[in-house]
């Protein structure tokens, strides 16, 4: 993987030394993002999750996309995970772009909207570095086949709780991309490395970054983000912002949340469900349920995919659910016991009434004699 990063760095250096105009990376200030609260929210260490998305990728029609060239955007996200540093690779290519709904495809160009490239991941502190590389690939059969395989591999690496596996298998994806870059006709249009945490005094916050290929805007302060889409306004703000379509660009957004929302897909949830089922097995089952619930909590605290804050919140929720399920099981068992001790079955009642009538008739016969 280090060799691949070195190759990207060499290509970026070539762009800088050559006569090719350089791309621009613009961090959109929070006061130029709407709605309020869309950017600028602090993401606390071990308290929240971050998610990185390609909120918008615009490919203008002047490059003859899908006729002569195929697009490829490679996003590498580096961050602290557990006790190691991991790199999560993600590829956005023509197969993914083709899945966009018909109403989302512009008349002059192509785009993707809100594609998750990393997350939700617990923020463990330190830098989050994002490397974005934008390529055009000459449309050839063997290039298309290789790109299709790379896209499928990229999609397979995004499942819940697989960051440890990604740290090992992501190399295979990058080797496939490296093979594409070695083909004749592959051109790097833009490449930049973005650090989302520049210093301990400037903590990680939600926000948006736009990587724009030439021609770049003369005044970056005119760029705005409205509902996760890139807009441009007049220099004096005398007119309403309009969607930015002057050149190709990738809009990256980092968002945060205090809960994952998918904890039922993580491995410790099986132990928790075993605990709830054991409550229906009587007194012995309650003790087994308690042991399983404690084991599930211990496993959750050790899981690097869950923040310490959410682990505590989830366990408190489990305790409430545990007590409610235990009370429910107790009521159901007491209902069964009352039915066993209560009114006899209907057949037994009928037989009793029949015997009583026979006895009464027999007594009546004795009296007549």
- At residue 149, the 3 state secondary structure works out as helix
The confidence score (pLDDT) of residue 15 equals: 46
Q: How confident is the model at residue 76 (pLDDT cuts 50, 70, 90)?
A: confident
The confidence score (pLDDT) of residue 366 equals: 55
Candidates 6, 166, 147, 120; CA nearest to 66 is 147
Residue 144 clears pLDDT 70, i.e. is over it: no
In a domain, 302, yes or no: yes
Quote the domain boundaries for residue 61. 2-258
- Of these ranges, 52-61, 212-221, 294-303, the one predicted with the greatest mean pLDDT is 294-303
Q: 38 phi and psi, to 5 degrees?
A: -70, -20
Residue 68 clears pLDDT 80, i.e. is over it: no
The torsion region of residue 183 among left (phi > 0), alpha (psi -120 to 50) and beta comes to: beta
Residue 4's H or E segment, with its range, is: helix 2-17
Task: Based on the fold, state whether residues 245 and 299 are members of the same structural domain.
Answer: no
Task: Based on the fold, state whether residues 68 and 90 are members of the same structural domain.
Answer: yes
Mean pLDDT across 309-326: 94
Candidates 135, 149, 140; CA nearest to 186 is 135
For the record, the structure tokens of 135 come out as 């390529």
In a domain, 352, yes or no: no
In a domain, 104, yes or no: yes
Task: Based on the fold, state whether residues 273 and 246 are members of the same structural domain.
Answer: no
Q: How confident is the model at residue 355 (pLDDT cuts 50, 70, 90)?
A: low
Q: 243 phi and psi, to 5 degrees?
A: -55, 135
> With contact defined as beta carbons under 8 Å apart, do 20 and 219 qualify?
no
Q: How confident is the model at residue 67 (pLDDT cuts 50, 70, 90)?
A: low
The confidence score (pLDDT) of residue 101 equals: 46
Q: What share of the chain is helix, strand, coil (3-state, %, to 5)?
A: 45, 30, 30
In a domain, 115, yes or no: yes
Q: What domain count does the chain have?
A: 2
The confidence score (pLDDT) of residue 284 equals: 86
Task: Based on the fold, state whether residues 110 and 28 are members of the same structural domain.
Answer: yes
What pTM, to 2 d.p., does this model score? 0.75
The confidence score (pLDDT) of residue 182 equals: 62
CA–CA dist 34, 269 (Å, integer): 37
Residue 181 clears pLDDT 80, i.e. is over it: no
Exposure string over 29-38, b if 16+ CB within 10 A, otherwise e: bbebbbeeeb
For residue range 245-268, list pLDDT tens digits in order: 888 899 999 999 999 888 888 889
In a domain, 348, yes or no: no
The confidence score (pLDDT) of residue 234 equals: 77
Task: Based on the fold, state whether residues 234 and 333 are members of the same structural domain.
Answer: no
Last residue of a domain, one of 258, 277, 296: 258
- Of these ranges, 184-188, 246-250, 311-315, the one predicted with the greatest mean pLDDT is 311-315
Residue 30 clears pLDDT 90, i.e. is over it: yes
- At residue 350, the 3 state secondary structure works out as helix
> With contact defined as beta carbons under 8 Å apart, do 108 and 62 qualify?
no
Candidates 176, 169, 171, 24; CA nearest to 93 is 176
Mean pLDDT across 300-324: 93
In a domain, 283, yes or no: yes
For residue range 83-117, list pLDDT tens digits in order: 888 888 888 876 666 555 454 444 555 677 888 88
Task: Based on the fold, state whether residues 210 and 290 are members of the same structural domain.
Answer: no
Task: Based on the fold, state whether residues 198 and 275 are members of the same structural domain.
Answer: no
Q: How confident is the model at residue 189 (pLDDT cuts 50, 70, 90)?
A: confident
Mean pLDDT, the chain, as a whole number?
77
Q: Which tops the pLDDT comparison, 236 or 308?
A: 308
Task: Based on the fold, state whether residues 49 and 126 are members of the same structural domain.
Answer: yes
Question: How many helices (H) does the chain have, and how many strands (E)?
Answer: 8, 13
In a domain, 46, yes or no: yes
In a domain, 86, yes or no: yes
For the record, the structure tokens of 98 come out as 């083709």
Residue 170 clears pLDDT 50, i.e. is over it: yes
Q: Which long-range contacts (CB under 8 A, 24 or more apart) does 140-145 make?
A: 140/183, 140/185, 143/70, 143/180, 143/183, 143/185, 143/186, 144/70
> With contact defined as beta carbons under 8 Å apart, do 72 and 135 qualify?
yes
Task: Based on the fold, state whether residues 278 and 229 are members of the same structural domain.
Answer: no
| Half-sphere exposure (Cβ direction) of 141: Cα atoms closer than 13 Å | 0
Say whether the peptide bond before residue 35 is cis (omega within 30 degrees of 0).
yes
The confidence score (pLDDT) of residue 73 equals: 84
Task: Based on the fold, state whether residues 132 and 275 are members of the same structural domain.
Answer: no
Q: 195: which residues sit within 8 A by CB, 6+ positions away?
A: 127, 128, 129, 130
Task: Based on the fold, state whether residues 287 and 160 are members of the same structural domain.
Answer: no
Task: Based on the fold, state whether residues 87 and 232 are members of the same structural domain.
Answer: yes
Q: How confident is the model at residue 323 (pLDDT cuts 50, 70, 90)?
A: very high
> With contact defined as beta carbons under 8 Å apart, do 75 and 151 qualify?
no
């Amino acid at each position: 993987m280090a060799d691949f990063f070195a190759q990207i760095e060499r290509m970026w250096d070539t762009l800088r030394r050559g006569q090719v105009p350089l791309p621009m990376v613009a961090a959109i200030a929070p006061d130029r993002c709407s709605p309020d609260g869309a950017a600028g929210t602090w993401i606390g260490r071990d308290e929240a999750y971050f998610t990185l998305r390609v909120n918008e990728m615009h490919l203008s029609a002047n490059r003859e996309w899908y006729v002569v060239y195929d697009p490829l955007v490679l996003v590498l996200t580096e961050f602290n995970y557990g006790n190691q540093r991991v790199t999560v690779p993600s590829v956005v290519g023509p197969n993914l772009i083709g899945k966009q709904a018909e109403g989302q495809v512009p008349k002059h160009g192509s785009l993707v909207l809100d594609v998750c490239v990393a997350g939700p991941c617990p923020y463990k502190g330190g830098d989050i570095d994002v490397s974005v590389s934008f390529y055009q690939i000459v449309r050839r059969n063997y290039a298309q086949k290789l790109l299709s395989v790379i896209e499928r591999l990229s999609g397979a690496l995004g499942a819940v709780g697989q960051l440890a596996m990604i740290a090992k298998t992501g190399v295979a994806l990058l080797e496939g991309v490296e093979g594409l870059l070695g083909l004749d006709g592959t051109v790097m249009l833009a490449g930049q490395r973005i650090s989302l945490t520049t210093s301990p005094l400037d903590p990680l916050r939600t926000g948006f970054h736009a990587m724009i290929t030439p021609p770049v805007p003369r005044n970056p302060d005119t760029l705005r983000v409205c509902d996760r889409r890139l807009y441009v306004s007049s220099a004096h703000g005398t007119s309403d912002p309009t969607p930015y379509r002057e050149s190709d660009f990738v809009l990256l957004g980092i968002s945060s949340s205090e809960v994952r929302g998918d904890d039922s897909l993580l491995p410790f949830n099986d132990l928790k469900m075993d605990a709830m089922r054991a409550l229906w097995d009587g007194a012995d089952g309650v003790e087994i349920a308690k042991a399983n619930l404690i084991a599930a909590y211990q496993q959750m605290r050790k899981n690097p995919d869950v923040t310490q804050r959410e682990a505590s919140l989830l366990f408190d929720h489990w305790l409430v659910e545990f007590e409610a399920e235990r009370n429910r099981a107790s009521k159901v068992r007491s209902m069964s016991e009352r039915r066993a001790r209560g009114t006899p079955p209907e057949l037994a009642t009928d037989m009793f009434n029949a015997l009583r009538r026979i006895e009464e008739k027999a007594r009546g016969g004795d009296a007549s004699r």
